[in-house]
Amino acid sequence: MENRKAGSTLPWEEFRKMLPEKIQGDEEVVRRIWEEVDYLPWLFIWHVLVSF
């Protein structure tokens, strides 16, 4: 099992490889939004575990 930072289900580097073509525009903005969205499933699972 590889080391991933907490709260990451699919790191940006892996997700970036799955995109079909070059990103038009600011790739840093896309990366930031991906990391914010990628955090949500981890947060949900953590809350379920802690709440029950």
How does pLDDT run across 16-44, given as a tens digit for each residue?
Answer: 999 988 889 999 999 999 999 988 988 89
Return the CA Rg of the chain: 13
Task: Give the domain ranges of the chain.
Answer: 12-51
32 to each of 1, 16, 20, 28, how far by Cα in Å?
25, 12, 19, 6
| pLDDT confidence of residue 5 | 72
In this predicted structure, the answer to whether residue 1 has a pLDDT above a threshold of 70 is no
Q: Comparing 4 with 11, which gets the higher pLDDT? A: 11
pTM over 0.75: no
- Rounded-to-integer distance, Cα 25 and Cα 32, Å: 13
| pLDDT confidence of residue 2 | 64
Q: How many CA atoms lie within 13 A of 21 on its CB side?
A: 2
